[in-house]
Structure 1
Amino acid sequence: MTDLQYDWTFDAPSGGTQVDVLGDAQGATAAIQQLLTDSAGEPPAIPTPADCLVTLAAGLVRDDVIHIKAEVRELTGADEEALARVRSSPLRMLETLLELGTVSIGSLPATRDVLPELLLGDRDVLVLAIRRATFGDEMQFEEINCQHCGENFSATISLGQIKSHSAGDRRLTIPLRKGGCAVVRYPTGADQAAMLADAKATNAEHNSTLLARCVVEIRDGKGEVTPGGADVAQSLGLADRRTILTQLATNQPGPRLLELTIRHEECGGEVPLPLSVADLFRDF
């Protein structure tokens, strides 16, 4: 039998000459190191996990560009500590949650001057996405009371089943009771913060603040236009104020957190299960 012979040589990176591994160990080592260096190149890009990317309902407009994509991240223990410190203030908790968990809006870093510009519905999109990135898609609920049969039951829901309202125009034209119409825009995070800035204000005063900011103009039946503002918000009739506020809430782009229902399998009834930010992050 003929003995097998192995040729322990390989081409050096430069010049194509052969290096004898057994006869020139030092040269072989140098050649291998050079080969590894030449072939390393740029490190491969690590893609962002799919559950950290989200599409906004309306998006952020900057310099005539609509930034519709956003990136969020999983919350950490340090984030939990930061959220625990603001737990007593729902608005501050929401703002902190968005600041911690949102990485970017389109090509823009998600800074404190960017996030308040988002519509309330888009902020809800981000809250949902942060929750899913941190805890996953499912939520377990105990002791849900069925309004149809009176029994309590537990259930698991998928956050993906929450319906969402797509964005159309960023403004609404709402008919008024005595003729004419109000042109309004959807509220943003900045509007919400202004509305809730005075903790001692009544609900009526909160409504006036929001209307003063979101009513762009009033058009009467003759075509006369009055710009919005505090005086206009207070001069609107009660029915018109309620109509405008209802339309803003009903048509706001984004997830319908307050409209979620769950089926009670025992009796077949659909049970309302409205969600808030506190519900989504109840473990904090």
Structure 2
Amino acid sequence: MSEMQYDWTFDSPNGGRQVDVLGDTQGATATIKDLLSDASAEAPAIPAPADCLVTLPGGLLRGEAIYIEAEVRELTGTDEEALARVRSNPLRFLETLLELGTVRIGTEPVTPAVLSELLLGDRDALVLAIRIATFGNEMTFDLITCPTCGEEFSATIDLNQVESHTVERPSRLTVPLRKGGYALVRYPNGGDQAAMLADSKATSAEANSALLARCLVEIRDAQGTTVPGSADLAKGLSLGDRRAILTQLAKNQPGPRLLEIEIEHEECGGEVPLPLSVADLFRDF
């Protein structure tokens, strides 16, 4: 039986020449080290897909920096199971959705504490981005009733086209009061939202008081007297001033205008309001 011969050669990474393992052991060893060194180098960063990146309308304030880029991800079956367990609690559903679907805010990984700092509009922007990353940008609605002609129709909207309002951070809002002077308020964040909705049995008036107690910075009356915000001050405001402050906060809050979406009924040309909530965006869960 003739002796079996092995031709152990491979291409060198330098110049493409072949290295003979048996005939040139030193050269082969050096080449193998080069190959291992190349393989152990830091892997190139792979950018997130475009539909997983979102620009926050307010941003996360960190010292002198404001992080406005966030990354979200597509939800999975495991996420669906987690969301199903908290579906009956709207606040817990929202918090869980944001924790599962948001990867980072700027360079910071997402934590419940970070999410609580975000303005409500930033949180809405994340919810909308998670929805697009998971299901795509198109959303179809059946059996919409046109308020102009009364006809029922279906329509598909492009969630990428939802208008958004931005503000510079940090930002406060000045609201004129009925009898002169003004209220200085800050935009509510996730922590304020949690406090407002903590008591599931609270009336809408009590929830409004809880929100104003946290977001009301100060009141300056017509004589120039300044009173710092407090729970008692929020409850002591006139009903007209309370409504004016809440209306201005809702109107000027940065973020996607989910409650202001309108579509046109092509048959009659009428404008049809189509406000969206978190529950609407994730109705398939």
What TM-score, normalized to structure 1? Answer: 0.89
- Match of 1:205, as an amino acid? E
Cα distance, 1:148 vs structure 2: 1.0
Q: Which residue of 2 aligns with 1:279?
A: 280
Checking the alignment, whether the CA contact within 8 Å between 2:19 and 2:28 is kept in structure 1 is no
Cα distance, 1:62 vs structure 2: 2.2
Q: Which residue of 2 aligns with 1:246?
A: 247
Mapped partners of 1:176, 1:140: distance in 2: 43
Cα distance, 1:31 vs structure 2: 8.1
Checking the alignment, whether the CA contact within 8 Å between 1:173 and 1:184 is kept in structure 2 is yes
Q: Which residue of 2 aligns with 1:210?
A: 211
CA distances 1:65-93 after superposition (whole Å, capped 9, x unpaired): 21111111110101000000000011110
Structure 1 gaps of 5+ residues are 1-8
- Match of 1:70, as an amino acid? A
CA distances 1:91-125 after superposition (whole Å, capped 9, x unpaired): 11000000000111111111011101111000000
1:245-264 aligned at under 5 Å gives the runs: 245-264=246-265
Mapped partners of 2:215, 2:229: distance in 1: 8
SS of 2:205's partner is helix
SS of 2:183's partner is strand
Mapped partners of 1:275, 1:14: distance in 2: 60
Mapped partners of 1:197, 1:248: distance in 2: 20
- Match of 1:211, as an amino acid? L
Q: Which residue of 2 aligns with 1:53?
A: 53
CA distances 1:6-33 after superposition (whole Å, capped 9, x unpaired): xxx9885689997469x96999987875
Mapped partners of 2:231, 2:33: distance in 1: 73
SS of 1:67's partner is strand
SS of 1:113's partner is helix
CA distances 1:34-85 after superposition (whole Å, capped 9, x unpaired): 5643544433322111111111001011223211111111101010000000
* Aligned length in residues: 275
Cα distance, 1:269 vs structure 2: 1.3
1:147-226 aligned at under 5 Å gives the runs: 147-168=147-168, 170-226=171-227
Q: Which residue of 2 aligns with 1:117?
A: 117
Change (3 A) 1:164 1:28: same
Q: Which residue of 2 aligns with 1:135?
A: 135
Comparing 193-202 with 93-102, greater Cα deviation is found at 193-202
- Match of 2:184, as an amino acid? V
- Match of 2:43, as an amino acid? P
Instruction: Work out whether 1:88 is the aligned partner of 2:88.
Output: yes
CA distances 1:169-212 after superposition (whole Å, capped 9, x unpaired): 62111110001100001111111110111112111111111111
Checking the alignment, whether the CA contact within 8 Å between 1:13 and 1:31 is kept in structure 2 is no
What TM-score, normalized to structure 2? Answer: 0.89
Checking the alignment, whether the CA contact within 8 Å between 1:164 and 1:256 is kept in structure 2 is yes
Q: Which residue of 2 aligns with 1:66?
A: 66
Cα distance, 1:168 vs structure 2: 3.9
Greater than 6 Å deviation, 4+ residue runs: 13-18, 25-32
Checking the alignment, whether the CA contact within 8 Å between 1:141 and 1:155 is kept in structure 2 is yes
- Match of 2:257, as an amino acid? R
Checking the alignment, whether the CA contact within 8 Å between 1:263 and 1:270 is kept in structure 2 is yes
Change (3 A) 1:24 1:56: same
SS of 2:232's partner is helix
- Match of 2:217, as an amino acid? V
Q: Which residue of 1 aligns with 2:234?
A: 233
